[in-house]
Amino acid sequence: NGKVALVTGAARGIGLGVAAWLIAEGWQVVLADIDRARGSKVAKALGNNAWFVGMDVAHESQVAVGVAEVLGQFGRLDALVSNAAVAEPHNPPLESLDLAYWNRILAVNLTGTMLLVKHCAPYLRAHHGAIVTIASTRAHQSEPDSEAYAASKGGLLSLTHALAMSLAPEIRVNAVTPGWIDARDPSARLEAPLTELDHDQHPLGRVGLVEDVAAQVAWLLSENASFVTGQELLVDGGMTRKLIYLD
Ligand code: NAD
């Protein structure tokens, strides 16, 4: 389709899955990641329609330079998928939780999206583009010792609808909220395979794949979603709709 998408946190996992899906749909995709070695390697493996820019999304100057590089290379930007995160839901117990740890999680998982959108918005507006943020069902439900990650994703959902109002009507902004997605490398999957219990506890009978998320991101970026903004789309195999009674 000749359009250009920027996908953050794309050196592995869900971001890489989204990048590969969009390329298969004909997008030109710029993969952004703090892991420059792995990011440039996977971009090369994805072929001629993939490029890599290194950035720490929590640093405004790096975001600004990265976005400028994208514009220098392509002269346009049609989509932003803000996926980069410290994707570790568990933190030390609150009473030993270090403020620097808390601040870093919020800086990457929440502030990073604000910075990306701030620097991408003028270009997205020019092409009536779209933004998808990647939240987590942990924005809605929790295990003990997950305050930093849960709060960052809850904030991200609010940021998403706030941005949708500020950037309408030119730019649509929606969130995709994954549940349990097996986003690990094949080697890690072999070392610790998922169990039947892992799969069976999901109403749809399996743990999710990166493609389950990528398909919904691609739809929200497409013209088929042109009347959808400020929304959250849960991709969780039904887990957050399951009522649990123990007997
Ligand atoms: P992952 O750890 O496999 O990949 C995250 C990527 O983001 C990595 O390549 C990492 O280098 C990059 N990154 C981290 N900090 C960065 C920074 N400051 N700047 C730029 N890049 C940075 O994680 P994943 O499982 O693929 O998760 C992707 C997204 O999906 C995250 O937002 C995560 O919170 C969300 N999510 C994942 C799951 C799941 O089950 N895997 C569930 C719910 C939500």
Q: What percent of the chain has pLDDT over 90?
A: 99
Confidence of residue 23 (pLDDT cuts 50, 70, 90): very high
Q: Please name the residue that has the structure tokens 């506890």.
A: 201
Which protein residue has the closest C-alpha to ligand 1 atom 44? 136
| pLDDT for 205 | 98
* Any atom of ligand 1 within 6 Å of the Cβ of 181: yes
As given in the structure block, the two tokens for residue 62 are 């790096």
Stretch 194-221: mean pLDDT: 98
Task: Please count the structural domains in the chain.
Answer: 1
| pLDDT for 68 | 98
Domain CATH for 77? 3.40.50.720
Residue 162 in domain = yes
For residues 80 and 129, is the Cβ–Cβ distance under 8 A?
Answer: yes
What are the C-alpha distances in Å from 1 to residues 26, 76, 80, 222?
A: 5, 13, 16, 11
Residue 29 in domain = yes
Stretch 80-106: mean pLDDT: 98
Whether residue 149 lies in the annotated active site: yes
Confidence of residue 170 (pLDDT cuts 50, 70, 90): very high
Residue 236 in domain = yes
Question: DSSP states of 47-115 as a string?
Answer: -TTEEEEE--TT-HHHHHHHHHHHHHHHS---EEEE-----------GGG--HHHHHHHHIIIIIHHHH
Residue 33 in domain = yes
| pLDDT for 1 | 80
| pLDDT for 247 | 86
| pLDDT for 72 | 97
Mean predicted lDDT score pLDDT of the chain:
98
Q: Give every strand in the sheet of 4-8, ordered side by side.
A: 50-54, 28-33, 4-8, 79-82, 130-134, 172-178, 232-235
Is the reported ipTM for this assembly greater than 0.85?
yes
What domain range is 102 assigned to? 4-241
Residue 175 CA to ligand 1 centre (angstroms): 15
pLDDT digit string, tens, across residues 123-153: 999 999 999 999 999 999 999 999 999 999 9
Residue 164 CA to ligand 1 centre (angstroms): 23
Does 169 score more than 90 pLDDT? yes
Residue 63 in domain = yes
Stretch 71-80: mean pLDDT: 97
Residue 82 CA to ligand 1 centre (angstroms): 10
SS3 of the chain: helix, strand, coil, percent, to 5: 50, 15, 35
Does 25 score more than 90 pLDDT? yes
Residue 179 in domain = yes
| pLDDT for 13 | 98
Residue 246 in domain = no
* Any atom of ligand 1 within 6 Å of the Cβ of 207: no
CA distance 216 to 176: 7
In testing the pocket of ligand 1, which one of 65, 109, 181, 199 has its CB within 8 Å of the most ligand atoms?
Answer: 181
* Any atom of ligand 1 within 6 Å of the Cβ of 33: yes
Residue 247 in domain = no
Residue 58 CA to ligand 1 centre (angstroms): 13
* Any atom of ligand 1 within 6 Å of the Cβ of 54: no
